[in-house]
């Protein structure tokens, strides 16, 4: 094999509770912000598809775990739904949810598939959102208790825990860029939410360390930033984009402190959230065991072409413009650039800037619209997905050969799932989900991935 990976490398896929579980009668699940917003603001969702029409993992987890085993997965990342386990976020535990999660985790373990369990994947319980969600410091304590409940109920079946998936997104998409509920556009509120999420992460890690012996970490959306040119103005634009969207989170989690450059900027524009000395001490003392990294696209920026109205709503985009690079490779279904080389750059950044911490690719994938056009003899012939994964793994392999401590690769996703505001517009799975019949059929990429796992690499 030209590209060989370690014997104990984690191979698998990732999903989330809200995107995959679906609902069943009498499951006693509480409402979360996606259940609410996909109905209340249905026009924001592709073809009006709500969480009621998500995949069927809650009902078919045994069959789905067998499908994972059929592809030789040795690991699988999903999340626990806070509002399923504790319907109002703070009160009684839903015993139906306990039964489901324990049965699902036991099934994974019995099939030799290591559960990677995430506690929060964008799905705030609606009862807590009505109190302000992560804007409200009370919700930090609620999350801590939820995490402790999960550890108590399931730690005997889970060796790898993660506090949050992409903690930047609830803040940025929900409170700055109007993509996720509650559809707020206010940087200071967004900064408050992100700070409180970081504190919630720290509290959960602290609780876990006090009583349990497994691994605990976090999953982050690391988007490499590339300037248009080496012109000082473009370099400054890239520096600012990186400061706001990458370093602000990464350094708090991985270095124990916010970047020193951040506070003066936020204070200059009156955007600094409340941050206490106790907060900073907690952040400083919190470390993780394993970092998950989600990568889909690079961020390319250039210097601002026009002056901004500094009397308007503050935004990081005051300091840079997006750069559309001529000749870039595109996934036209999603409107995003395909740039596998960034996988190497991410790995080297972790190696050189963040202490070469143990990490793994927790999401990487390509979503394609109208994928049924590629069906031949009953199977999606998704050679484009095979090529996509190959290229990203090749660059990852190069970084690992140079000493990067990458422990695994999880594809997004196992079976086509509901994808937030895009619903089922773009398909990502190794298995195709027929929305009319519910039938799940393996794609060509799934069979190829099985050979990669079994051969521990590919040519």
pLDDT of residue 25: 84
Domains: count for the chain: 1
Average pLDDT, integer, range 165-191: 97
Which of 418, 335, 333 is closest to 373 using CA atoms?
333
Question: Any bridge partners for residue 292, and if so which?
Answer: 219, 360
Q: Rounded CA gap, 44 and 52, in Å?
A: 16
pLDDT of residue 236: 98
**For position 241, which CATH number holds?**
3.20.20.80
pLDDT in tens, 418-458: 999 999 999 999 999 999 999 999 999 999 999 999 999 99
pLDDT of residue 178: 95
Residues 162 and 115: beta-carbon distance below 8 Å: no
Catalytically active residues are: 166, 363
What burial letters (b/e) apply to 276-313, b meaning 16+ CB within 10 Å? eeebeebbeebbbebbbbbbbbbbbbbbbeeeeeeeee
Average pLDDT, integer, range 140-166: 98
Quickly count: other Cβ atoms within 10 Å of residue 63's Cβ.
12
pLDDT of residue 55: 76
Average pLDDT, integer, range 142-152: 98
Residues 380 and 371: beta-carbon distance below 8 Å: yes
- Band (pLDDT 50/70/90 cuts) for residue 5 is very high
Q: Rounded CA gap, 234 and 321, in Å?
A: 9
- Band (pLDDT 50/70/90 cuts) for residue 223 is confident
pLDDT of residue 53: 79
Does this model's pTM top 0.85? My answer is: yes
How far are the Cα atoms of 90, 342, 409, 414 from residue 457, in angstroms, in the given order?
45, 20, 12, 19
- Band (pLDDT 50/70/90 cuts) for residue 52 is confident
Token readout for 192 is 């408050």
Token readout for 338 is 């395909």
Token readout for 234 is 């473009």
The secondary element (H helix, E strand) that includes residue 34 is: helix 33-40
Q: Rounded CA gap, 289 and 283, in Å?
A: 15
Residue 303 belongs to what domain range?
3-458
Average pLDDT, integer, range 336-357: 96
Residue with tokens 């695994």: 408
Spatial CB neighbours of 383, under 8 Å, sequence gap ≥ 6: 444
| Farthest-apart Cα atoms in the chain, separation | 63
pLDDT of residue 334: 87
The rounded percent of the chain whose pLDDT value lies above 90 is 94
- DSSP state letter for 179: S
pLDDT in tens, 364-419: 999 999 999 999 999 999 999 999 999 999 999 999 999 999 999 999 999 999 99
Average pLDDT, integer, range 257-282: 97
- Band (pLDDT 50/70/90 cuts) for residue 54 is confident
* Crossing angle between the packed helical segments 187-211 and 168-175, to the nearest 10 degrees: 160
């Amino acid at each position: 094999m030209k590209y060989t990976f370690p014997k104990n490398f984690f191979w698998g896929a990732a999903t989330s509770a809200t995107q995959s579980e679906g609902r069943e009668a009498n499951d006693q699940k509480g409402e979360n912000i996606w259940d609410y917003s996909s109905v209340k603001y249905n026009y924001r969702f592709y073809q009006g598809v709500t969480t009621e029409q998500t995949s069927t993992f809650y009902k078919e987890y045994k069959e789905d775990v067998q499908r994972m085993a059929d592809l030789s997965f040795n690991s699988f990342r999903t999340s626990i739904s806070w509002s399923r386990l504790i319907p109002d976020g703070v009160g009684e535990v839903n015993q139906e949810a306990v039964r489901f999660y324990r049965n699902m985790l036991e099934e994974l373990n019995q099939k030799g598939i290591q559960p990677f369990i995430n506690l929060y994947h964008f799905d705030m319980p609606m009862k807590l959102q009505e109190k302000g969600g992560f804007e409200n410091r009370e919700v930090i304590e609620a999350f801590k208790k939820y995490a402790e409940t999960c550890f108590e109920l399931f730690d005997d079946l889970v060796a790898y825990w993660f506090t949050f998936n992409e903690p930047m997104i609830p803040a940025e998409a929900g409170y700055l860029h109007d993509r996720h509920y509650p559809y707020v556009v206010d940087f200071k509120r967004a900064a408050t939410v992100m700070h409180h999420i970081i504190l919630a992460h720290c509290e959960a890690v602290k609780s876990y360390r006090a009583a349990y012996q497994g691994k605990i970490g976090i999953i982050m959306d690391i988007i490499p930033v590339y300037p248009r040119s080496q012109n000082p103005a473009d370099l400054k634009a890239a520096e600012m984009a990186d400061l706001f969207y990458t370093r602000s989170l990464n350094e708090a989690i991985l270095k124990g402190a916010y970047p020193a450059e951040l506070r003066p900027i936020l204070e200059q524009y009156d955007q600094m959230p409340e941050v206490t000395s106790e907060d900073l001490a907690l952040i400083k003392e919190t470390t993780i065991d394993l970092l998950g990294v989600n990568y889909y696209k690079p961020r390319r920026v250039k210097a601002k072409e026009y002056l901004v109205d500094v009397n308007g709503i503050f935004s990081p985009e005051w300091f840079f413009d997006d750069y559309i690079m001529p000749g870039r490779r595109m996934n036209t279904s999603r409107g995003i650039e395909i740039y596998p080389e960034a996988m190497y750059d991410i790995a080297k950044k972790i190696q050189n800037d963040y202490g070469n911490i143990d990490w793994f690719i927790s999401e990487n994938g390509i979503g394609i619209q109208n994928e049924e056009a590629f069906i031949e003899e009953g199977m999606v012939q998704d050679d484009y997905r095979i090529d996509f994964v190959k290229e990203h793994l090749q660059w990852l392999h190069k970084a690992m050969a140079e000493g990067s401590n990458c422990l695994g690769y999880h594809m997004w996703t196992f079976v086509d799932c509901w994808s937030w505001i895009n619903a089922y517009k773009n398909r990502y799975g190794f298995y195709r989900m027929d929305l009319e019949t519910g039938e799940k059929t393996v794609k060509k990429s799934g069979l190829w991935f099985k050979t990669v796992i079994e051969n521990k690499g590919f040519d």
